[in-house]
Amino acid sequence: MKIQRVRRFISNKKSGYIDCAAAFQYLGKEDVKFLDIRQQSSYLNERLPGSLLASKPLQYRKIYDQQGLNYMQKYFAEYFYNVIKIKKDDYVIAYDESLLSQYGPSVTQFLLNYLGHKNVSILDGGLESWKVRNLSVESGNQLNRIQQQLLENQDKVGQLLGEKEGQIKVDQSEVLVNIDYIQKALEQGDTHIVDVREPQEYKQGRIPNSVNIPLSQLFQVQQNGAYVRKQNEIQNILKNKHITQQDQIVVYCKMGYRSSQAWTALKNAGFNKVYNYGGSFYEWENSNNRVEK
């Protein structure tokens, strides 16, 4: 199946998510790559057929400050494009055990978008949903030599991938904002700042004038897995906070992981002017900015 047909499916169905039945049809397609972002042991035990292990790059990104971003750009991009051989025009489907795992496939989608790779979807319901439908899985060691070395020698990642900089052109303007952007947004008052942490975290301290929409509200948990809520449901959740699809929105959490998931869910619901504050509350609080309680 050509990538053009895949794109049409996404635009007609879910721009950020793909259901298991549709994803199953893409197994074995040369220009479609399935990324498993779980730990190595889980990947080796059971995975979607032909999927590639992609959990390690998530550990390279320490935090979304400039140093962390440079680190991610160097190693994350090298891993994806030179180690597991994702091509520029490949359609990528990322999955975890479920949508509410610690990192979540949304983080992979967000980071690939940051690196300029736009053709990325998330397996709705994750591996849990896949197995409930009795779809095929495989096991065993399919890691290539470089992947195996990376897993065994994390402290030598620079030597294994090569100390290369500037090979991937990154345009963060469409997805990521920094602390300066937040400060200006507070001055101008033209941006909705959304805290996606849990209510108790929000009450203990937050960016001034931010509203609380916990990440968990954007998903629904069923017996066979967690799924992103329907677009109109998410639109109504934000409408109750006086936020529309035309508004400019910045999401944040503590370290940028949950906000990456929220970014994907809001994008999928038609909020095109949504950005992720990668440094999130950790950076804000530790930069001597005013904290509201």
Q: Is residue 279 part of a domain?
A: yes
Q: Are residues 159 and 180 in the same domain?
A: no
Residue at 232 is within a domain: yes
Note whether 158 and 66 are same-domain residues: yes
pLDDT in tens, 82-111: 778 888 889 999 999 887 765 567 777 877
Last residue of a domain, one of 120, 139, 163: 163
Q: Are residues 100 and 74 in the same domain?
A: yes
Domain count, the chain: 2
The reply to whether 120 and 48 lie within a common domain is yes
DSSP state string for 57-78:
HHHH---SSHHHHHHHHHHHHH
Tokens of 110: 């967000």
Residue 293 domain flag:
no
CATH of the domain at 204: 3.40.250.10
Do 115 and 196 lie in one domain? The reply is no
Residues 85 and 130 in one domain: yes
**Residue 24 included in any domain:** yes
The answer to the question of residue 168 being in a domain is: no
Backbone angles phi, psi at 281, to 5 degrees: -65, -30
End position of a domain, from candidates 110, 137, 163: 163
**Do 154 and 192 belong to one domain?**
no
Question: Which residues, 6+ apart, have CB-to-CB distance to 207 below 8 Å?
Answer: 182, 186, 193, 195, 252, 281, 284, 289, 291, 292
Domain of residue 154: give its range.
16-163
Nearest residue to 274 (alpha-carbon basis) of 205, 206, 192: 192
pLDDT of residue 51: 92
Among the three residues 135, 163, 191, which one is the final residue of a domain in this structure?
Answer: 163
Domain identity same for 96 and 231? no
pLDDT tens by residue, the chain, 293 residues: 343 434 333 333 334 899 999 999 999 999 999 999 888 889 899 999 999 888 755 555 555 566 666 666 666 777 777 778 888 889 999 999 887 765 567 777 877 887 778 889 999 989 999 999 999 999 988 776 656 655 555 544 455 444 444 344 445 667 889 899 999 999 999 999 999 999 999 999 999 999 999 999 999 877 766 788 999 999 999 999 999 999 999 999 998 888 988 998 999 999 999 999 988 999 999 999 999 99
Q: Is residue 169 part of a domain?
A: no
**pTM score of the predicted model:** 0.79
Give Cβ neighbours of residue 186 (< 8 Å, ≥ 6 apart). Answer: 193, 207, 208, 209
Q: Nearest Cα to 18, choosing from 138, 119, 115, 139?
A: 119
34 and 155 together in one domain: yes
Q: Are residues 24 and 114 in the same domain?
A: yes
Within a domain: residue 239?
A: yes
Residues 80, 112, single domain; the answer is yes
Has residue 244 been placed in a domain?
A: yes
- 155 and 229 inside one domain: no
